[in-house]
Chains A and B, each alone.
Chain A
């Protein structure tokens, strides 16, 4: 197993080389020149040239690329053109917010998706099945930003029971340990802060997780339907095992194997794609920030974020594959055991 993990981690290298080339080239080719944006519309040509030289943008492309790669190895991703703060610091101050939101969303999506999918499969062709699948259809069809706004209108604007945005009340923020508010709140035993963080988390997480929930629900339904038709389910029933146990123990354990992959992929895309949710809920995460930087041609930031998201995505998939081997005994990664 360890050997497999190391092998997979080594495979990160070609992935990252590919990603770095793509993001580097795309930024240089498709983004407007950052200099006039940074310096403003009244900047003189001399000033613009000087700025370009200072930021290395007049060097040949391969030199620029090599500098970028060298930066990655030395942990120096450059500084933002606008804030002048190191990119790594910018990213690290925002990424925990995004991770926290994405994980909350995927937990909600998985729990409800699996429950809805399972009920739909077990009660196939009944009103429960239709209700579940209509919910899933609405979930995949509804635009996230719209859902977010509706949630804010209902729970914040009308009912006044949940806050409309931000990560939490600044006065209630926990002491910084990891940067994840919920985790920090638990670590420091700050109950007030935990409550506040959860209250702030629930609406954006629901909005963000809705689509994934719908996908997971549909996958669970079809996977469970297939599993419930298997011979070993009949065997379990023939043993006299109660129906609830047949579904929970025998069907779900098998039916969930393909769902693990879907959940992993969804989590990966939630991490990089929470832009709309972050904007609607003014969530200080990395998504909205990155879009902002793309529009402003802030090359170092965009490159840094894309690399980070790529690494995260690969790591999540590695974790998924490890979980796979744990839930399905037929899968063995090392040759010795096989």
Chain B
């Protein structure tokens, strides 16, 4: 197992109270696997990825659990050790390609910085590798474009540069936090295609964070659905799309427009994500769920295995969180 997250808890201590952005989640990523984490804004998917990188900023912090990367617990490593892993064995690309590159440095300098931080290469070798990486991610005339500043590139180009930077040291795990959200659909498809082919070529695992189920269907092997900091369903991609179990997952899938759709209006999950400071006492989805029962409002269901998938819902089992 490449990455094992066990009972991870990340909380933000605010003046008004403590927000459990990630609330006791466990999952694992195998070598070469693409695991998608889906959920709407505020479900804790980005916080999960930043927790793995050790990049949670104040006032947030990892409050419990383990993040085992090849057996080493990242939460217990000192920052200096973590820095050796970041960008080298685990690297990350972000949602915002327009702002994720430093505007005052040339693209090649930013990629070379990553290479020279982790590999003992001369400047010439690092530059050669940089150009190779830019070529790999499909930037035309990479020698020339390497000297560009970020503002001279389009959003799609910049995201390619980010990917080149993330892949420069051949990481074993790539965390892609909404890599295509800020891009238009054609570029989106190209970037996904690129990630997919690079996975094949380099054999790295990808943790794909997204709210876009279309992206999930296209790229992922396995899917985790998060809601309010908790995993509500986990399944392989085929099972999830053909046999969704949790009412939230069902709702998400229902709300995707389809080609042969004859509905006048798209399906919508009613209500809104609850205020993280005022969570429902029972299941966090209970106030929006169409199949909500009395029990759901009082007790939190446990994540249990049902037909090869995992789901957190009283419709499938009476098991309660903490009482299994």
Contact = CB atoms under 8 A, between A and B. Distances in A.
Interface string B178-216: 000000000000000000000000000000000000000
A290 B286 CA distance: 79
Interface stretch (B17-25, B97-105, B129-137, B314-322): B97-105
Given A254-B104, A329-B104, A329-B149, A238 B87 contact: yes
A235 B79 contact: no
B51 interface: no
A230 interface: yes
Contacts of B165: 235, 239
A76 to B, nearest CB: 47
A234 interface: yes
Contact of A232 (B91, B92, B102): B102
Interface residues of A, number: 21
Contacts of B162: 235
A42 interface: no
A231 B85 contact: no
A239 B99 contact: no
Contacts of B284: none
Contacts of A236: 102, 113
Q: Quick one: which of A234, A241, A243, A327 has the most chain B CB within 10 A?
A: A234
A138 B312 CA distance: 59
Contacts of B149: 329-330
Nearest to A328: B104
Nearest to A253: B104
B69 interface: no
A296 interface: no
Contacts of A239: 86-87, 91, 113-114, 117, 165
A237 B100 contact: no
Interface in A228-250: 230-232, 234-243, 250
A238 B53 contact: yes
Given A231-B96, A240-B118, A254 B83 contact: no
Q: Quick one: which of A238, A253, A330 has the most chain B CB within 10 A?
A: A238
Interface residues of B, number: 31
Contact of A240 (B87, B106, B151): B87
Interface string A308-338: 0000000000000000000111100000000
B13 interface: no
A232 B151 contact: no
A12 B146 CA distance: 40
Interface of A: 230-232, 234-243, 250, 253-254, 257, 327-330
3 nearest A-B residue pairs (beta carbon): A240-B87, A239-B87, A240-B86
Given A236-B113, A242-B80, A330-B149, 8 more contacts: A232-B99, A232-B103, A235-B94, A235-B100, A235-B101, A238-B87, A239-B91, A239-B114
29 contacts: A231-B99, A232-B99, A232-B102, A232-B103, A234-B55, A235-B100, A235-B101, A235-B162, A235-B165, A236-B102, A237-B86, A238-B53, A238-B87, A238-B94, A238-B166, A239-B87, A239-B113, A239-B165, A240-B85, A240-B114, A240-B117, A240-B118, A241-B114, A241-B117, A253-B102, A257-B104, A328-B103, A329-B151, A330-B149
